[in-house]
Amino acid sequence: MKVKDKKTFYITTPIYYPSDKLHIGHSYTTVAADAMARFKRLTGYDVMFLTGTDEHGQKIERVAKEKGVSPKEYVDHIVAGIKELWKTLDISYDHFIRTTDPEHKETVQKIFKKLYDQGDIYKSEYEGWYCTPCESFWTEVQLNEGKCPDCNREVELVKEESYFFKLSKYQDRLIKYIEEHEEFIQPPSRKNEMLNNFLRPGLEDLCVSRTSFKWGIPVTFDDDHVIYVWIDALSNYISALGYLSNKDEKFKKYWPADVHLVGKEIVRFHTIIWPIMLMALGEELPKQVFGHGWLILEGGKMSKSKGNVVDPLILEKRYGSDALRYFLLREVPFGSDGVFSNEALVNRINSDLANDLGNLLSRTVAMIDKYFDGTIPSCAELEDVDKELMDMALATPNKVEELMNQLLFSNALAEIWKLIGRTNKYIDETMPWILAKSEEQKPRLGTVLYNLAESLRFISVLISPFMPSAPDRIRQQLGIDNFDDLKSWDSLGEFGKIPAGTKVQRGNPIFPRLDVEKELEDLEKTLPTESQKEDKSKESSKEKEGDQKKDTEEKAEITIDDFAKLDLRVARVMAAEKVEKSDRLLKLQLKVGDETRQVVSGIAEHYSAEELVGKDLILVANLKPVKLRGNLSQGMILAASNEDGKLSLVTVDKEIEPGSTVS
């Protein structure tokens, strides 16, 4: 009999730059990809989950030189540490690719040659700027006060003979593709950003080789050149599947990828350069590129150079991989930025894991122990309250699946926690300790305890993609860890599968309650969370340009105290003018009480300088001042915007003195 082919699912993380300190922000993408890979395996897919390291480029060559080792020695050492981190966080990747793997190098060389042979790559001369930390090319106009517009660091003037890739030739095809494939770039706000900021203004051909350093994949037909790292790196998604080799079964099986998970700052490479490479190669495009937000600390995005990195190894050691993974995926809606804080972590562990889940298990097992001598009783006649619990348990898997298919990890977990909450409420409603007082009520008590155990079995399966070891610890206490058929997704089609008579095994709390104060004190000593050094590193171009376009994605909940941190004021525009060499920026002089403030705002495409004068706007007055294109900006004015790129300034509806507070 021919076994029916399984459905396939191919998911990737970005490949990481070898860095001796991967922080919790890096772990975020990989944990999310892992949860998704585990979920798909659980629901019957043949999964290919790829991660790895991006090891070439000028940056690595320089660091290795500084350390007095060869680039290969340097990366070998670091990659071992990265693999160790993924092991600690229970990352179940199917393949770990290194761009120094010989098979990868060969594929990249073949890709380059193919594009050259067909005329999509040509030789010319490059003169422009290069940001080594970002490995990005910039034109003079794109620079921000002579610095990299992405990370604000120094750029270098590069003038060398180079190969170029004809991005411009494919631009219209790509625009059409993106417009016709809603799901290709997610969340939708990132799609608009790519179309409006990069594609529609027009693409320049991309410089795709370098001659001024050696640590890269050589161009086979021109020894002096090494291939641009992003061409090298992006190719990993297909070289790992044996593309253009004689072992390309995996490519045939898994390509196109179902989803590339990437951080928002590298969406540009994945939705412009990568699809154009694939178009030129005549291959299908990935079904989706999902640009998730950043985990940030108060000082901005975590980065080693800012000294504000949170070490996942320290947290894992204290709280375990389950708790850390749960926190990362529950706390922040996946498309949005989210603030990491020790307090939020410890509180979530206490409330969601120790209280809601841990206590539910301990109470259930303790009651089975006490009232039925440790044996799961059988279920007798059902009452409405039992049916309600069962119906909810049976409905939860589909809801979770729907949310997971949209990468809504936090919402999927919230759905599971609704079932946990319902089960806890079921204990309050049925009051087993009262039932236990009368012998007559024994069958009813048995039914209640059986349903509690079965509900916990459902929960153990549902949480398994997110928390790799808690499910087995739950099953051990329920005495069902040897029953494989009770662990599958399909087993959630029926409520009542645990055999009555199973022996439970009381154990320690699966998530011990933490002493919040003590934890915060200890963590404070090891993990910085505030007053970070001046940002010298990657910041979003949004922050850089004073762009007030709001993300339309769901944001994390805030308290009234969070809101009270904002100093919002009415500000009257006294004068306005365009910022030189910028199509988007206007420089405004605002009257705020007795003070005059200068604010630079990215609204020039929506308002002329003249029409703004005299308007009363709303200013975020206590925003840290920044310099935009050399102009001091002391705050930010508020505006509404929608997905079509429309923008409207927020104003007051009656005359009121400038400087009045807004709350």
- Least CB distance to ligand MSP at residue 302 (A): 4
- Least CB distance to ligand MSP at residue 624 (A): 19
Residues 202-261 close enough to bind ligand MSP by CB under 6 A = 233-234
CB nearer ligand MSP, residue 103 or residue 265: 265
- Least CB distance to ligand MSP at residue 16 (A): 4
Q: How many CA atoms lie within 13 A of 175 on its CB side?
A: 14
Nearest Cα neighbor of 345 from 333, 336, 356, 332 is: 332
The values of phi and psi at residue 159, to 5°, are -135, 105
CB nearer ligand MSP, residue 303 or residue 641: 303
CB nearer ligand MSP, residue 40 or residue 292: 292
> What secondary structure, in 3-state letters, does 55-70 show?
CCCHHHHHHHHHHCCC
Our finding on whether 29 is near ligand MSP (CB under 6 A) is yes
Nearest Cα neighbor of 463 from 478, 473, 453 is: 473
Question: 54 vs 237, 470, 590, CA distance in Å?
Answer: 12, 33, 47
CB nearer ligand MSP, residue 149 or residue 471: 149
CB nearer ligand MSP, residue 72 or residue 387: 72
Binding residue count for ligand MSP, defined by CB under 6 A: 19
Query: E strands, 388-531, where?
Result: none
| DSSP for residue 18 | P
**Structure-block tokens of residue 442:** 């024994």
Give the integer Cα–Cα distance in Å for 637 and 658: 13
Largest Cα–Cα distance of the chain, in whole Å?
A: 91
H or E, element range at 46: strand 46-53
Rule CB under 6 A: choose which of 10, 11, 14, 342 binds ligand MSP. Answer: 14
Say how many C-beta atoms besides its own lie within 10 A of residue 576's C-beta.
Answer: 22
Nearest Cα neighbor of 101 from 59, 50, 66 is: 50
Q: Which residue is nearest to ligand MSP (CB)?
A: 263
- Least CB distance to ligand MSP at residue 556 (A): 14
| DSSP for residue 144 | B
CB nearer ligand MSP, residue 174 or residue 461: 174
Q: Which of 20-28, 214-222, 364-372, 634-642 is the region at the interface with ligand MSP (rule: CB under 6 A)?
A: 20-28
Q: Which of 80-88, 171-179, 294-302, 386-394 is the region at the interface with ligand MSP (rule: CB under 6 A)?
A: 294-302
**Structure-block tokens of residue 657:** 């003195």
- Least CB distance to ligand MSP at residue 626 (A): 20
Nearest Cα neighbor of 339 from 292, 293, 291 is: 293
Our finding on whether 60 is near ligand MSP (CB under 6 A) is no
Give the integer Cα–Cα distance in Å for 10 and 365: 39
Rule CB under 6 A: choose which of 26, 250, 457, 587 binds ligand MSP. Answer: 26
CB nearer ligand MSP, residue 263 or residue 546: 263
- Least CB distance to ligand MSP at residue 17 (A): 4
Our finding on whether 379 is near ligand MSP (CB under 6 A) is no
3-state secondary structure of 579: coil
Our finding on whether 573 is near ligand MSP (CB under 6 A) is no
Rule CB under 6 A: choose which of 9, 10, 11, 25 binds ligand MSP. Answer: 25
- Least CB distance to ligand MSP at residue 296 (A): 6
The values of phi and psi at residue 46, to 5°, are -90, 105
3-state secondary structure of 637: strand
Rule CB under 6 A: choose which of 17, 39, 319, 372 binds ligand MSP. Answer: 17
Our finding on whether 299 is near ligand MSP (CB under 6 A) is no
Question: 154 vs 66, 92, 371, 629, CA distance in Å?
Answer: 18, 38, 71, 15
Nearest Cα neighbor of 624 from 578, 582, 566, 541 is: 566
Our finding on whether 302 is near ligand MSP (CB under 6 A) is yes
Residues 40-59 close enough to bind ligand MSP by CB under 6 A = 54
Our finding on whether 28 is near ligand MSP (CB under 6 A) is yes
Q: Which of 23-31, 356-364, 434-442, 647-655 is the region at the interface with ligand MSP (rule: CB under 6 A)?
A: 23-31
Q: Interface residues with ligand MSP (CB under 6 A)?
A: 14-17, 25-26, 28-29, 54, 233-234, 262-263, 265-266, 294-295, 301-302
